[in-house]
Amino acid sequence: MATYSKELGIGLLAALMTLFIFGGAYARAWPLVATLGLDDQWFVAGFYGPEEGEIGPFRWSDGDAKIFMPRPALGRTVKVDLQIIDARANPEAPRELILRADGEVLTQFMLDHGQLRNYALLIPPEISFTRDTTIRLVSDGVPEFEGGRVLGVAVNQVRLTPIGAGVLWPNLWLAGHALIFGLLSYSVGRLSGVRHGSAFLITGGAALLIGGLIATKPMDTLPYLHRFTLLGAVFCVGIMAVRRLFLPVRSQRDAAPMFPGRYLPIMLGIGSWCALLLQAIIIWDGATNIGSPQWVRTMGLVVAVGIVGIWVWRASSDRQLPLEQRQSQVARPILLILAGAALLNIGWGLTFAFSREAPDLLILYRGAQSWLAGGSFYDLEAVLTNHFGHVFKVPPFYGMFFVPLVDRIDATTTLLLHRIMNTLLIGATALVWLRMWRIPLWSLTAAGLLILLDFRPLFDTLAFGQIDIVLLFLLTLALWALREERDGVAGALVAAGTLLKIYPLILLAFFVLKGRWRALGGFVLGMVILNGLAIAAIGWEEHRIYLFDVLPSIGGTTPWIENQTISGFIARLGAPATAAAIFHNPLLEMIGTGLSALVVLAALALTLRPATVQSSHFALQYSLFLLLMVLTVPTAWMHYQTLLLVPFATLVLHFRERQITLGMALLLGISFGLIAFGNQWSFQDREIVGLLSVLGVSYKFYGMLILAGVMGAVCTRRV
């Protein structure tokens, strides 16, 4: 009883601390200003699209419109300032405007045409548990022209200012969510196995982060505050499910809950399905134009029911069994359920990929067409203008393979053959992993690896006609060759990958740090032979253009939403996430490059630690460089994350005969869920609105950061 009282007491302190932080941030956020026409989609209804005029950005009402503003401080009168104009081109007469707040009429008056005026009104204090104060504008509607829009009034800006002195106490809605979020975030820490003080610090850090957003970006943050609470609830439910399923034992060294490493694929699978749950909650909360296919949602429900059913069944029948046997009785059927669901999802992913257009592959096909017609692979003007657009910019070696195809078959057949080849390579890569680690095909470990293949970047690569699956296959073979002491072959395989995409070049640093000089020799020999073949087939001119005109021009980063690198994340803080253009901001570019360099240096330092070539530590050090390829380069699209199957698979195999702390297992589950589930539009529609949306669309970047942290922690341990 004393233990529960202590937990409850510290949890309440964490909740009160969160309330204090949120309350202080809320007090600093006032006055609240909303400019209609600028990132205002969440707080307007009954308005037409944004427009720009002499008064700046504005929206036309349709005669009965609403503006939803965050609820004022508790017990305080608030002044609302509305900038309104009747800007009709052909006025018939002054019109009457009625203003309401939460259903009560504040005033009604005649609006003079053509005059932008500020109308100030007082909203009396009200005790309410709702999130918003609803300001309603009712006016006569007049057609813009015959058959045109019915226009009410044009609104430019809304400002809420509290009246009077004294402390601005948070409203009941904010206070309630602050308390619940504080309690949930503390519970997440404790359920994950961290100590009281650490859990309290986790709560404080999360509260300070959200509080900073409230204070600096209130109109971007307050409308979504409840989603942080929902996120905490999802984490709590997921962690409690894992604890109930596996009843983790405690390490005698630090009393941290331990998770059986052989069941790590279950954690990864649960993480991926929890991402689907989070998406469903966001849709329930009003998000539009996002979602997963109906059968995927149905599959998620079946998986959840199956897991709960197995736990109830085993919990009632296996009470007398030893702990390890109980874990096995629960884990085996759950692993098979998740593997079966993954297999069905893989089938759907292939169906999806084969039914899509492939603009990226068509670029290569047209480049080969241009070369056959006497032109060049490369449109230098397009490369120089914006090489992030649909332009041919890969090495000539890659383009060489399309020349015989263009000469004999059409683009549609080429795309089909490309997809069939990549589908076969997915299976071949899986078989290589089983052979490399001597895993029987019909085993639970193989079933666990099947869960990893339910990986959205894999199918986006297929859908877009990209080359990442070929790179995955080549770099997996290179790891196998290194483990078998065939360093020259490994180097040649990396050379082949480099001639498809330049990024595998970073593996040369791994060869140097590990003293694999024959691998370097194999790389050089491979480059000479493969480039010699390409020059013989294509000619020197295309290589000269690539080396001296294209390659120097394809640097830099972009804020485009698909770019989930460190530099891409930093760029989105200074430019719209929908801008698929080269980013120009020297300061932010320097910050992104500097942070990326620090991550690279950390990986290099970890690689210097000794590890035998057959050990999983060696494979983890190798896998770090594949993570660097998609995290620290200036630009890497989401489908490049196909390569991250290597570090995830390596971690699964590393822990299959080890115990892993529950916290680390949970972090891996979160990381896999973020990276494996969905793409840039899975949690965000085509409108990027406000800072939280900008931060939210970088969710795969956070997954990679977590993966990097876990891999770093594992690599620092004594071998």
CB atoms within 10 A of CB 496: 22
Percentage of the chain modeled with pLDDT above 90? 52
Phi and psi for 118 in degrees, rounded to 5? Answer: -100, 120
Residue 204 makes CB contacts below 8 A (sequence gap 6+) with 14, 17, 21
CATH number where 43 lies: 2.60.120.260
Whether 560 is covered by a domain: the verdict is yes
Q: How many CA atoms does the CB half-sphere of 388 hold within 13 Å?
A: 20
What is the 8-class DSSP label of residue 59? E
Name the pLDDT band for 710 (thresholds 50, 70, 90): very high
Phi and psi for 575 in degrees, rounded to 5? Answer: -155, 160
Phi and psi for 265 in degrees, rounded to 5? Answer: -55, -30
Whether 486 is covered by a domain: the verdict is yes
Give the residue-averaged pLDDT of 629-637: 94
Regarding whether 186 and 158 lie in a shared domain, the answer is no
Q: Is the peptide bond before 91 cis (omega within 30 degrees of 0)?
A: no
Regarding whether 585 and 496 lie in a shared domain, the answer is yes
Based on the structure, what is the number of domains in the chain? Answer: 3
Whether 319 is covered by a domain: the verdict is no
Regarding whether 41 and 25 lie in a shared domain, the answer is no
Regarding whether 198 and 53 lie in a shared domain, the answer is no
What is the gyration radius of the CA atoms in the chain, in angstroms? 29
Whether 411 is covered by a domain: the verdict is yes
Percentage of the chain modeled with pLDDT above 70? 94
Which of 393-402, 655-664, 678-687 is least confident?
678-687
Q: Is the pLDDT of residue 250 over 80?
A: no
Burial 262-300 (b: 16+ CB within 10 A, else e): bbbbbbbbbbbbbbbbbbeebbeeeeeeebbeeebbebb
Name the pLDDT band for 676 (thresholds 50, 70, 90): very high
CB 81 within 8 Å of CB 72: no
Whether 269 is covered by a domain: the verdict is no
Tokens 């309690």 belong to 183
Q: Which pLDDT score is estimated for 254?
A: 46
Name the pLDDT band for 142 (thresholds 50, 70, 90): confident
Q: Is 566 exposed, middle or buried (0-12, 13-18, 19+ CB in 10 A)?
A: buried
Regarding whether 549 and 476 lie in a shared domain, the answer is yes
Whether 608 is covered by a domain: the verdict is yes
Regarding whether 708 and 590 lie in a shared domain, the answer is yes
Q: Which pLDDT score is estimated for 100?
A: 87
Q: Is 545 exposed, middle or buried (0-12, 13-18, 19+ CB in 10 A)?
A: middle
Name the pLDDT band for 320 (thresholds 50, 70, 90): low
Give the residue-averaged pLDDT of 302-318: 80
Q: Which pLDDT score is estimated for 564?
A: 95
pLDDT in tens, 422-434: 999 999 999 999 9
Q: Mapping DSSP to helix (H, G, I), strand (E, B) and coil, where does residue 226 land? A: helix
Q: Which pLDDT score is estimated for 252?
A: 42
Which of 10-14, 161-165, 200-204, 633-637 is least confident?
161-165
Last residue of a domain, one of 145, 162, 179: 162
Q: Is the pLDDT of residue 362 over 50?
A: yes
pLDDT in tens, 465-488: 999 999 999 999 999 999 999 999
Last residue of a domain, one of 223, 238, 263: 223
Burial 385-401 (b: 16+ CB within 10 A, else e): eebbeebbbbbbbbbbe
User: Which structural domain, as residue segments, surrounds residue 124?
Assistant: 32-162
pLDDT in tens, 4-35: 778 888 889 999 999 999 999 999 998 988 88
Regarding whether 22 and 58 lie in a shared domain, the answer is no
Instruction: Please write down the long-range contacts of 428-436, taking CB distance under 8 Å and 24 or more positions apart.
Output: 428/473, 429/469, 429/472, 429/473, 429/476, 429/645, 432/473, 432/476, 432/477, 432/480, 433/476, 433/649, 435/480, 436/476, 436/479, 436/480, 436/483
Last residue of a domain, one of 207, 223, 239: 223
Whether 241 is covered by a domain: the verdict is no
Q: Is the pLDDT of residue 325 over 80?
A: no
Whether 301 is covered by a domain: the verdict is no
pLDDT in tens, 58-82: 888 888 888 888 888 888 888 988 8
Regarding whether 175 and 105 lie in a shared domain, the answer is no
Regarding whether 23 and 37 lie in a shared domain, the answer is no
Regarding whether 490 and 533 lie in a shared domain, the answer is yes
Regarding whether 157 and 175 lie in a shared domain, the answer is no
Regarding whether 117 and 195 lie in a shared domain, the answer is no
Which of 103-107, 538-542, 556-560, 655-659 is least confident?
103-107
Name the pLDDT band for 533 (thresholds 50, 70, 90): very high
CB 444 within 8 Å of CB 263: no
Q: Which pLDDT score is estimated for 253?
A: 43
CB 178 within 8 Å of CB 186: no
Q: Round to whole Å and give the CA distance between 480 and 435.
A: 9
